[in-house]
Amino acid sequence: MLRCTILSDSPYPGEQQILIWGGANDLFAAASGFRYAAAQAEDGRGDWLPANISLIVREPANGMARNGDRLVWTITRSDALHFAELIDVLAVSEGPGHQYLDIDVLQGFGLRVKISKDEYPPEFSSGHAVAS
């Protein structure tokens, strides 16, 4: 199961960073979920996402944003496919690692999203836990 938290020690001054983490199988499920969302242009929350994240697939993308206690991730179909490719590479890589899913940040909006494989224990929390 993927987990999610807000990193309090973001290396990017003035930015909050969302950390999504799990093992290789969790990442394979996420890549598959992004592909399905791109193919179906389906909004909502698949069981592959942490419970507090809603995914919206549409043009234009608004990136990851806070909405009360929830996070809403608005991406395009091409973003979803690109994220799936990045996550696949991470999932099959040897050892722990991470990837940034931050196309939206580069466009000037949204929260920076870091997805991690085997770098953090399941119980990890930066002190600003969002949900698991």
What stretches of the chain adopt beta strand conformation (E)?
3-7, 17-22, 53-57, 63-67, 70-75, 97-100, 112-117, 129-131
23 located within any domain = yes
For position 31, which CATH number holds?
Answer: 3.30.1360.230
Separation CA 50–CA 71 (nearest Å): 10
127 located within any domain = no
Separation CA 24–CA 93 (nearest Å): 9
Q: Indicate the pTM of the whole model.
A: 0.83
128 located within any domain = no
Q: Output the pLDDT for position 129.
A: 42
Q: Which residue range is the domain that position 51 belongs to?
A: 3-8+16-121
Q: Output the pLDDT for position 128.
A: 44
Q: What is the number of structural domains in the chain?
A: 1
76 located within any domain = yes
21 located within any domain = yes
Q: Output the pLDDT for position 130.
A: 43
Q: Output the pLDDT for position 107.
A: 53
Q: List the chain pLDDT tens, one digit each, 132 residues.
A: 888 887 766 666 666 788 899 999 999 999 999 998 888 866 655 678 888 888 888 887 778 888 888 888 888 899 999 999 999 999 999 999 999 987 655 555 567 889 999 998 888 865 544 444
52 located within any domain = yes
